[in-house]
Amino acid sequence: MSYKEKYLKYKTKYLQLKGGSSSAGGGGASSSGGGGSSSAGPREIIIKKFDETPTQYTISECIQELIVNSFEIYNNLLKKAKDTNKPITIVCGGQSPSYYCLAMMNFSIFDDKLVNIIVLPHSKNGKKSSNQYQENVNYCERLKEKNIILNDNVVIIDGVHSGVGILSLESALKHCYPNINVTKIAINANYGINEIYVNQVYALPCEPLFSDTFPRLVQSFYPIEFNNKDIPFITEFINIHNNPIAEMIIDIAKNFHLVK
């Protein structure tokens, strides 16, 4: 079944979720964005590119963009791990890259012995820390609490604008695991958005949908919460089974080797 066929299969269910249907169920609806029409044919979504030119994409086109590029990212890292005989850990840095990481984990080529994926909620909202060291200490305690183990080669994938979030996460990881080597990959709506140096940029116009519009897959987790043990540190995806976009991505990813 192709990604377009999968899109048609889940379209009605997704639009019910957007419209607040009681059959849609589950959490995350408040972050799923505006309503949509249930008329025949793909629903169009207005996305602002970096130059603020309105461009229309269907959900099907956005899912295709996500699947194809997620496969490329993971496949390239898998080849690197095989060629160097050095396993890699992908750190999924919060909500922004979550749908891309979800796809990677469901490809037939996924091999967690060579390239594993760890979901680490880490929310900054572009605000620099007043005490990065203490923030690192608190976050490290939560990592140890979860028995998080990283390979020496770490790739952080995130949406990168000011760079505050990814640099803060990198700082915390290096504090807790001083022997790691970190590579940074940005998934942004366009080139030129990242204000800091990263090792690689993927310019994907649909990225804001997965970061800001569709239901959350990763729980937010802010520095003020790091040392509050009453607030859970959730290092796995949430609400997947109440989220038809996530279900569609999983189904397509599992069969992508047949679709290509």
Residues forming beta bridges with residue 181, ordered by sequence position: 153
50-63: pLDDT as tens digits: 444 445 788 889 99
State the DSSP H helix or E strand holding residue 47, giving kind and residue range, or none if neither.
Answer: strand 44-48
Asked if residue 72 lies in contact with residue 57, where contact means CB atoms within 8 angstroms, the answer is: no
* 15: pLDDT strictly greater than 70: no
Domain ranges of the chain: 3-259
Question: Distance between terminal CA atoms of the chain?
Answer: 11
In our burial notation (b when 16+ CB lie closer than 10 A, e otherwise), range 191-221 reads eebbeeebeebbbbbbbbbbbebbbbbbbeb
Alpha carbon distance 127, 224 (integer Å): 12
Sequence-distant (≥ 6) Cβ neighbours of residue 118 within 8 angstroms: 89, 90, 91, 92, 148, 150, 235
The pLDDT score that the predictor gives to residue 94 is 86
Supply the pLDDT for residue 161. 93
Q: Is 62 left (phi over 0), alpha (psi -120 to 50) or beta?
A: alpha
Q: What is the pLDDT of residues 24-48, one digit of tens each?
A: 333 332 333 333 333 444 444 444 4
State how beta strands 153-158 and 54-58 pair: unpaired
Please state the pTM of the whole predicted model.
0.80
- What the block records as the tokens of 109 is 């080529």
Q: Do residues 71 and 105 make contact, with C-beta atoms less than 8 angstroms apart? A: no
Cα diameter, the chain: 55
Higher pLDDT, 202 or 130: 202
Tell me how far apart the alpha carbons of residues 59 and 62 are, in angstroms, rounded to a whole number: 5
Which residues face 56 on adjacent strands? 46
Q: Write the pLDDT tens digit of every residue in 95-118.
A: 999 999 999 999 999 999 999 999
